[in-house]
Structure formats: C-alpha cells, structure tokens
C-alpha cells in the first residue's frame, strides 16, 4: 500500500520533471532528482552546503578509483561527520529532519 506522503512526493516529482521522472525512477536514479543542488552559499537547512561538500568529496574518491556508488556513500559520511563536528549532533539531526520533510 502506498502512503499519501509517497503519492504527494511522486506528484511533485512528476510536476517538476515530467516524463523524465518516471524514466529516472524506473532506472534507479531517484536520488538524482531528490538531492539538493550544490550551493556553498545556500541558507543553512536547505541542503546545498551539505551537497557541495558531498559532491567535492565524491569527486576526490572517484579520482582515487572508487566506484561512483562507493564514492557517494563515503562522501555522505564525510559530510555528515564534518557537519556534526561543526554544529553538534542535535543541530545536525534537526537539519537532517528538515531536509527529509
């Protein structure tokens, strides 16, 4: 059974990305259309700063020979660790929850 939140999210994705959304979802690239765009000057809580760090670290690990999936996994962990060091666990949890909403 699909929840109403899932249906609402899918409607927003289709509205923003049209027919390409279904192709991306079926192809397993769902995260490509959900991730915020890297923006080092984005307001805190929008995910742009996190995405910037994540994309930069992922590029470094891909250059070292890691697969794109492994590089993305490592980059997310590095960005989260840096955020926790700067903002603390409580603030990062709040920012993460805001990003998922």
Read off the pLDDT of residues 27-80 as tens digits, 9 standing for 90 and up.
Answer: 555 445 456 788 888 888 888 889 999 999 999 999 999 999 999 999 999 999
d(CA 71, CA 77): 10
> According to the model, what pLDDT value does residue 66 have?
93
Q: Report the predicted TM-score, pTM, of the whole model to 2 decimal places.
A: 0.61
- Taken in order 78, 83, 89, 94, the sign of the CA dihedral is negative
> According to the model, what pLDDT value does residue 28 have?
52
Read off the pLDDT of residues 79-88 as tens digits, 9 standing for 90 and up.
Answer: 999 999 999 9
Average confidence (pLDDT) over 20-31? 55
> According to the model, what pLDDT value does residue 1 have?
46
């Amino acid at each position: 059974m699909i929840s109403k939140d899932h249906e609402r999210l899918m409607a927003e994705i289709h509205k923003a990305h049209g027919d390409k959304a279904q192709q991306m979802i079926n192809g397993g690239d769902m995260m490509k259309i959900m991730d915020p765009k890297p923006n080092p000057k984005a307001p805190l809580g929008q995910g742009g700063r996190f995405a910037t760090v994540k994309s930069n670290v992922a590029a470094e690990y891909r250059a070292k020979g890691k697969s794109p999936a492994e590089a993305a996994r490592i980059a997310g962990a590095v960005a989260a660790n840096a955020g926790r060091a700067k903002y603390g666990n409580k603030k990062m949890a709040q920012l993460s929850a805001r990003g998922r909403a």
